[in-house]
């Protein structure tokens, strides 16, 4: 079984509990900066947004709270179910969020969105470059011409330089151990996660392709997605070799 079909269950949320709406709010201001020209051009009309690899929908909820219509797409039925529960507790968001289960390479929309976001390194999962490129092509197809995108990806240099081979912590009664390595060919970062608690133990692997900026920009260009700006963090800082993130923004041609 492919690692991404196993990794994103309820235990994933136990490990990444800090990845909540409060943290997402830090990146929201950057996302708003990217789509502001669309709002100005439309006279303030709410946007149609694709939140690709939405998980439990933290960005979907925040964007819907700003009045936009959001389609959250993810492969994990478990995370989508949790997202639906969250939406049920937000009656002020009726009809603004649709949660769709689909592979990121096979987004079931064409020319439907003003904005597409792909957050928290939800790219580079596949072993073959052509499969990762299919994700970008799916984003391009889902956007209308002139629609904008935000790809929030890791900074390859930062990951390699700052790699912590192993750490452990306790979270809500669970003992979590994380082991990391760069693949022998230097093309991927692999993380093995072990969670132990009263209900037993669970483990899974996360594996992401380490593209550099030039490689990713080339793949985007080949998918008719023109990069206009590269940011290095959620505060909107300039991208550089030491930046914690590589956040590429631009427009569909």
Q: pLDDT tens, 103-120?
A: 999 999 999 999 999 999
Summarize the confidence of residues 241-252 as an average pLDDT.
Answer: 97
What is the pTM (predicted TM-score) of this model?
0.97
Which of 137-168 are b and which e, b meaning 16 or more Cβ less than 10 Å from the residue's Cβ? bbbbebbeeebbbbbbbbbbbbbeeeeeeeee
Summarize the confidence of residues 199-217 as an average pLDDT.
Answer: 95
Short-list 158, 178, 179, CA closest to 170: 178
* 3-state SS, residue 223: coil
Summarize the confidence of residues 72-90 as an average pLDDT.
Answer: 95
* 3-state SS, residue 157: helix
Which of 38-60 are b and which e, b meaning 16 or more Cβ less than 10 Å from the residue's Cβ? bbeeeeeebbbbbbbbbbbbbbb
- What per-residue confidence (pLDDT) applies to 61? 95
Tokens of 93: 């968001």
Count Cβ atoms within 10 A of the Cβ of residue 34 and give its class: 0-12 exposed, 13-18 middle, 19 or more buried.
buried
Question: 225 with 136: CB under 8 angstroms?
Answer: yes
Summarize the confidence of residues 193-200 as an average pLDDT.
Answer: 92
Residue 180, pLDDT > 90, answer yes
- What per-residue confidence (pLDDT) applies to 4? 95
Question: 237 with 247: CB under 8 angstroms?
Answer: no
Domain ranges of the chain: 3-155+210-252, 159-206
Summarize the confidence of residues 221-232 as an average pLDDT.
Answer: 98
**Class of the CATH-defined domain 3-155+210-252:** alpha beta
Residue 144, pLDDT > 90, answer yes
* 3-state SS, residue 102: coil
Fold annotation for 159-206: 2.20.130
Summarize the confidence of residues 189-215 as an average pLDDT.
Answer: 95
Tokens of 212: 């550099």
Q: In which order are the strands placed within the sheet that holds 97-101?
A: 97-101, 69-74, 48-52, 113-118, 143-154, 245-252, 225-231
* Calpha distance 37→40 (Å, rounded): 5
Tokens of 245: 């993130």
């Amino acid at each position: 079984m492919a690692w991404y079909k196993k990794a994103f269950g309820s235990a994933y949320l136990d490990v990444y509990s800090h990845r909540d709406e409060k943290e997402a709010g830090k990146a929201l201001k950057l996302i708003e900066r990217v789509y502001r020209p669309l709002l100005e051009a439309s006279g303030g009309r709410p946007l149609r947004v694709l939140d690709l690899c939405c998980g439990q929908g933290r960005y979907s909820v925040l964007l819907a709270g700003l009045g936009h219509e959001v389609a959250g797409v993810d492969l994990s039925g478990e995370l989508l179910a949790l997202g639906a529960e969250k939406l049920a507790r937000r009656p002020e968001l009726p009809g603004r969020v649709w949660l769709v289960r689909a592979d990121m390479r096979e987004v079931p929309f064409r020319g439907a969105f003003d904005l597409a976001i792909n957050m928290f390194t939800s790219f580079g999962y596949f072993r073959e470059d052509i499969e990762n490129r299919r994700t970008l092509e799916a984003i391009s197809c889902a956007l209308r011409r002139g629609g904008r995108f935000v790809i929030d990806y890791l900074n390859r240099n930062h990951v390699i330089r700052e790699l912590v081979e192993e750490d452990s912590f306790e979270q809500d009664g669970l003992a979590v151990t994380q082991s990391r390595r760069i693949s022998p060919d230097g093309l991927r970062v692999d993380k093995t996660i072990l969670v132990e608690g009263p209900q037993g133990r669970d483990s899974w692997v996360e594996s992401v392709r380490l593209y550099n900026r030039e490689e990713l920009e080339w793949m985007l260009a080949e998918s008719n997605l023109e990069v206009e700006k590269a940011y290095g963090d959620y505060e909107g800082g300039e991208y550089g070799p030491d930046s914690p993130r590589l956040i590429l923004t631009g427009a569909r041609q």
